[in-house]
Structure 1
Amino acid sequence: MSHIFTRIRHSYGDMKLESKFTLVLLLTATVPVIMMACFFYGKLYDMVVSYTIRQEQDTSAQTAPYIEDLVQQIIDAHDGITDQEFFQILFHQPVNSPFQMFLDTNDAQYFHEYVKNLIDSDMISGLQIYMDFPPQSVRLFSDDLTKDYFSPMSKARGTYWYGIFQGTQQSSLFCPAFYLGEREKKKYGDLAYITSTTFYYQGKARQAYIALYSSSDYLSDMLKDNLTIDGSVSYIINDRNAVVASSDISLSGIYLLDYDTIEESFMSSNNFIERNILDTTVYAGFYNIKQPEWFMVTVLPSGPLIHQSNAIMVQYILMYLGFLVFALVLAHFMSHSITNRISSVIHQMSKVRKGTLSPMDSPEYHDEIGDLIDTYNYMTRKMDQLMTDQAKAAEELRIAEFRSLQAQINPHFLYNTMDMINWLAQQGRTDEVSRAVQSLSRFYKLTLSRKQSISTIYREAEHVSIYLQIQNMRYHDSITFVSDIPDELMEYQIPKLTLQPIIENSVLHGILETADKTGTIVLTGWMEDSDIVLLISDDGIGIAAEQLATILSGEGASSSGGTNIAVYNTHRRLQILYGPDYGLSYTSNPGHGTEVEIRIPARKHSATLDFIPPLYGK
């Protein structure tokens, strides 16, 4: 025996560390669980039955008050009808009063409206008041106010409920479907609350029944919600062993229990009993609905409970297998903990070849591998700092280029405007010179206000409007300007002097080169996904195809005139700010006009906006 143990000990000692961890965890995880499964399997069914019964008891305790409340609502509706003044006068009139005169009172109208509103509600589906009149015609059954709710006693005779009232001394009765006649179920509903009363006609007391109809669907829905497992059934039974409502009609017929048996069991068995029905063990629970003396019965066949216990065992096995797999993975992880740490460093360093610098988490243990991770993180931080400094230098270069481009735009308009003012002065038009100077002052106030180079679309639109006012002073109001930008776009941001060079180009190289030197410029805009698109169109002479191909490339800017330089700089400036997907695009039909589309990202303007927005919208 000692020789065997020695061989086992040596075999275990020669195992690799991974195999040792796996074997130990496998044994510690498997043996206790198998023992517990064998111990609890025999008791699992009893546990499931006990738990399910307790769950059904709790659910029934919650459902029963809703059923009692529904019954009370029907009773309250009945009491509301009998409390009506018309009903009181009709059924409690003096013995010798003329009966028909009560239909001509306002109380009859009020009674009709009350009952109509009650039937229009979800709970009550119909009302019939059966009255035992002699054979002669009675206006109550034909008058528009009462004919829908009053019927002769002949329509009630032959029903099961009528026989119950005739054979007993009951004054009220909740009637399930088979108590009612086919006419009642089809026209009014399959559940009724009926009470007996009397009235006087021609000096003689006569019989009457007030039948308030509803639908058993409300009760059936509650009973269905009362069930917690498949294959079970819940039903309501009255003291005449009639099923009032059921979650499943066929199953309630199979598992129907006698009312007396239920009542006896209810008093002595903690509301649950075990029975054998059709060679099947079932567990039946009861809950008393006090108002109409009903019992709510829930029957749980043993088959679904056995299936449920087996399902729990399967779930337990699956959970255990999952735990076992987790234990094996954990053993594998532990046996490779050291090599994995080294591999993680190698993997992280290999990312540097792809240009990705990301430091590792600080090591928890400061052994040789921990020192290696610290060294790698130090190297990563230094390289990241160098890249940051390089990006900052590139950003400063971009800002310098932006300012240079804008500087090329601002003096250009001033030159053209001063030339126009000079021309007006030479003509001796001092008033117009004054207005031109005022407009120019307002123009540059908008241009130079604040230190920011980002404005709003509203201010840019005002800016070009003033520009065209100045130009119209020079060219005798020959330019019509239409601005149709939606109000919701006005507060979005746009670089200053974006619209003016394009408008100026449309004036000088489009409209003023037509034969009559007149034309129209239209400025519109819209939101397109996350971008704003502004469209400037004119009806000038247009742009030739060869010039159109170079207007935004900068190749022909120097030979095409100053405004072409400004247009090129505007396009270049937008691309520097927002990226190559933004800027200007030209389309032109020579002899008919030109359209310029300006595309910029949609960004709300802020009073605290930085001088330069982030490159390419990032």
Structure 2
Amino acid sequence: MMRLFDFLKLHQKWMLAIFSLIVVPLVVYTYLSYTKMADLAKSQTIQLAEQTTQNTASELGFLTASSINALDFLSLDRSMNEMLSREPANNDIPLQLRDYANIVNFANTLQRNKDFYRIRLYVHDDFVYANDHINLFGMSQASREQWGNELIHSGQTAYWFVPGKGEQSGGTPPLVSVVRRMLNLDNFTLMIGISRIDILQSTLTDKLTRTKITDTGLVYLQNARGQIIARSDPERGSDGILDAKEWQSLPANEWNTRHIGNKSVMLSHRAIGKSDWMLVTVIPVNEVLAGITALRDQLIAILLSIVLIAYFLAYLTSKAGTKKIKYLIKRMKRVQSGDLNVIITRYGKDEIGELVENFNFMILKLTGLMNEHIQLGIELRSADLRTLQAQINPHFLYNSLDLINCTAIEHKVPDITTMVKALTKYYKLGLSKGMNIVSLESELEHVKAYVQIMNMRYTDAIKLAIEVDSPLLSCRIPKITLQPLVENAILHGILEKAEKRGTIRITGKQDRAAVYLYIEDDGVGMDAERLSTLLDYDHQDPNHSDNGFGVKNTHDRLRLAYGDSYGLGIKSEHGKGTSVEIRFPSDLDYEEE
């Protein structure tokens, strides 16, 4: 911790000390107070919600138990079972009408329960009373409904469901229903009907609405299949409804905190007996904390006021002691960015003044050394280039090539003649009568001559495609810029392929700032590690000293001539090839050295 303190600036240390003594204790106190009050509010809310939820769960459990008991009563009543077990063909109409009256009286008796909306029985279609469409319906109608098939395949004694829209048309209010198969008491393998009890969804909604303890809270019933049975706010649609898998993964009868969208909520779920329903209660945390939010905001406002005052005091105190030091630091940062015109003319006689005086002496010394180094570098590069050119005696070279050509003609060896002519053209273009800056057209001809020579050596292994627009051909560029790059593409790209054949494509474009040339090959390419060191002398691989020297030298020549924003850019992918971008100015006049 002390080591970190040593790296802080002086004014930061002053401000840190003041903040540590004033602001930090207040922040901690505010945080602990708010946390304690928030926990208390949550605890009280959970206690109230738990009580109301338990009461609602008990009411719903009583309702579902009453419904199941009523269904059991219908299914196990002996007289009812005998009436529905009769064969319609063996019973005359008067008997069936008498049975109908008894069945309706039976249903009306059960229907007196205030929570039941309707009692329905689905019986054999051949009974004359099978379709009164009030209490009695044909079995075929149940088989056409989705719930009828689900009842048969569910294997459950009682099956709860929400009727589809087709069943609730014609002014029928939204319902929640439970059905049970009625079996022949003398032969349990025979189903004689289906009993059904309909409950108004509004009955459940009223019970759930009374369970809410916050304005935007939500209480709803959801079955294990994820189907919503009822909810406290039907007009809100599916807003706030959790996926069934989410609450099923949580412990029942416990309160948990989760996020729904961008809202934090507390939720709990508990099972409703005699059904597959879950009573889910969702309470937004922001409503729970609404009572203490205003107090929290007041504490934060007071805290911010104290922070501003503390900051102002710390600023004045630190500014008085660090003004000169900051001024010196600003000048040092200008030196870091390359600006050496930073001599300080006003400084005192104290320790800081002595430091400034030493700083001025260092800058003057550094400026002289840099100017000397730059001049030395320029002279050294120019000397290297001239030394390389001086190694070739043009007159001696041309006379020797002319002698070889005459000998080839005399001995009728046309291949040698072609080679000598290409070589003569190559060197003439390379020497360029001593000029250092040549046209792009001359450079491209130089490359063509070089590729022709290489194709004679490697039996037309290299295909050269030049796609440069005519306006670019007059652009001026340092000579012998393209040839080292083409050479590198051939020797270390194409000829390292298994088939030792490939294509080099040269393209170009121009904008107001620069000319861009692209040399692309389909050679072996290189990996990222090799590519990262290609333009860096200090990281050249000694095992590949011949690979990339000409590329690096070309890059340095362009930067030396035009500035650091120009030069080469290289992209490569191992096994797919390499692309080199050459950037040089398009709107400058260059003087020959």
TM-score range, shorter chain: 0.3 to 0.5
So what's the TM-score if we normalise by structure 1?
A: 0.39
